[in-house]
Structure 1
Amino acid sequence: MYLTDPRCEDRALACDHPCFDCPVRDAAVCNSLGREDLAEFRRSGTSKLLAAGEALCWQGEVATEVFSVTRGVLRLSILLPDGRRQVTGFAFPGDFLGLTLEDEHPFTAEAVCEAQLCRFSRARFDGFVEAHPQMERRLYSAAANELSAARDQMILLGRKTATERVASFLLQMTRHSPQRPGEPLRALLPMSRTDMADYLGLRIETVSRELSALKAARLVRTVSVHELQILDRDGLNRLAAGTGTSAA
């Protein structure tokens, strides 16, 4: 909610909110907290700003902190024993990072563009959650969503063709892109084509070829290197589901 949100009775009420300036306060894991508890939670953490390319944490590093993404996008990746990199996902505003049953981070998290996060001590965060069951339920929901995303990623890598993978990814990105009323659906792509390829399990040349085929089929249109317009959402959905004619 912003200062101009119509749900606020007036600007004074909005400014009085402990996180009035947070663009994702309705989507973050802390949105289940009442005003006083939220103020206490905010005081227990600090803000962290990452430049594009800067690492938040490294795979195998001791996990002493947890994070809530408030702006920007982070790339999550693991390094395989043979030195290859697999991008396992991307963290968007509202996502929570750092929860693990192990003592070490299972992945490396790096900013693909300038990003901002709320940062909390893991020990202090665990104590706060124990005292606030409503937040524990919210974290459970976030973990369930993460498991669902991991399942979808397994299907994408294990069963889908290159065309289906790229189409699925673009549709996924529309859900993380602000939309403009009356205009075609947007898919913002802050990550590089190499990041996309490493996430989709494809070669970068294949990603570029598939994107070109989608444009030639008039399913998408390039606005810039980091933005596409979806011209035919139904057609893209059919491709993603494997029920449409390949664009390549």
Structure 2
Amino acid sequence: MHIRNLAAADPQLADDHSCFGCPVRDLAICNSLTQIELAVFRDSGSKRRLQPGEPLCWEGDEAAYVYTVTRGTLRLSKLLSDGRRQVTGFAFPGDFLGVTMEDEHPFTAEAVSEVELCQYRRSRFDAFVDSHPHIERRLYSAAASELAAARDQLVLLGRKTAAERLASFLLQMTRRSEQSPGKPLRATLPMTRTDIADYLGLRIETVSRELGMLKTSGLVRMVGVHELWVLDREGLELRGAD
């Protein structure tokens, strides 16, 4: 597979790279840095913006950069040998991407919505981590969370029914969505139904049918194409066997 150029010369990169007002400051791996360390870290990177459908990297590309998602959602996928696509996950604001023991990206990452990222050349990032060991602990924590998510996904795909898979997914999405006091539990769904189906290992018709059953049961309510309210959290948890 041909390597796509992810160089900082991309015209979509912004010159301003201030961390002031960053919406994911408390979630990102850089939250362990002091103000002075953060300034050094900030100056070693740049911003990158993607439009919906635009790739950040392709499976097999050189892993030359690492990224922190600051806005929007990315879809992570792998192409199977028979041409089918398996969505392996989604990256949300605060998530860190690109760390690998290999020289190539193990997945394709594409923007689901408008996306903004902080981008760092991998060699410079590795040098920064070597001189700031405490950020390595944050990387370890992020890796542990990713491993736990991978285990959950194995259980979801290997043991759960279609209804359980969708219910579990919707509950996961409530934990990644902004909530408002006094309002029903909210799940923002920026991805398409096809993306959800490919993530859950289901047909899109099955996803639509199971979602309809959840609505008929009074467990959820769609309030837009990409937003859902959980009206009965306990009932949804029972449905998802979480």
- The amino acid of 2:183's aligned partner reads E
SS in 2 for 1:117: strand
- The amino acid of 1:129's aligned partner reads V
- The amino acid of 2:204's aligned partner reads I
Question: Aligned partners of 2:179 and 2:137: how far apart in 1?
Answer: 30
Question: Aligned partners of 2:110 and 2:175: how far apart in 1?
Answer: 21
- Give me the TM-score of the superposition, normalised by structure 1: 0.90
2:149 alignment partner in structure 1: 149
Query: Cα offset for 1:161?
Result: 0.1
1:50 alignment partner in structure 2: 50
Question: Aligned partners of 1:31 and 1:208: how far apart in 2?
Answer: 39
1:163 alignment partner in structure 2: 163
Counterparts of 1:177-192 in structure 2 under 5 Å?
Answer: 177-192=177-192
**Post-superposition CA distance 1:10-63 (Å, at most 9, x none):** xxxxxxxx6222100010001100010001000000000000000000000011
Counterparts of 1:51-130 in structure 2 under 5 Å?
Answer: 51-130=51-130
SS in 2 for 1:48: strand
SS in 1 for 2:109: strand
- Give ranges in structure 2 of 5+ residues lacking alignment: 1-17
SS in 1 for 2:102: coil
Runs of 4+ residues over 2 Å off in structure 1: none
CA-based RMSD of the aligned residues comes to 0.7
- The amino acid of 1:161's aligned partner reads T
Q: In percent, how many aligned pairs have the same letter? A: 69
Question: Aligned partners of 2:19 and 2:62: how far apart in 1?
Answer: 29
- The amino acid of 1:120's aligned partner reads Y
- Give me the TM-score of the superposition, normalised by structure 2: 0.92
Question: Aligned partners of 1:22 and 1:182: how far apart in 2?
Answer: 26
**Post-superposition CA distance 1:131-171 (Å, at most 9, x none):** 00110000000000000000000000000000000000000
SS in 1 for 2:24: coil
1:3 alignment partner in structure 2: none
Counterparts of 1:227-238 in structure 2 under 5 Å?
Answer: 227-238=227-238
Query: Cα offset for 1:126?
Result: 0.3
- Give ranges in structure 1 of 5+ residues lacking alignment: 1-17, 243-248
Question: Aligned partners of 1:220 and 1:136: how far apart in 2?
Answer: 40
- The amino acid of 1:204's aligned partner reads I
2:29 alignment partner in structure 1: 29
Pairing 1:138–2:164 present: no
SS in 2 for 1:25: coil
Question: Aligned partners of 1:222 and 1:120: how far apart in 2?
Answer: 38
Counterparts of 1:218-233 in structure 2 under 5 Å?
Answer: 218-233=218-233
Question: Aligned partners of 1:21 and 1:52: how far apart in 2?
Answer: 24
SS in 2 for 1:199: helix
2:241 alignment partner in structure 1: 241
Question: Aligned partners of 1:168 and 1:135: how far apart in 2?
Answer: 32
SS in 2 for 1:99: coil
State the aligned residue count.
225
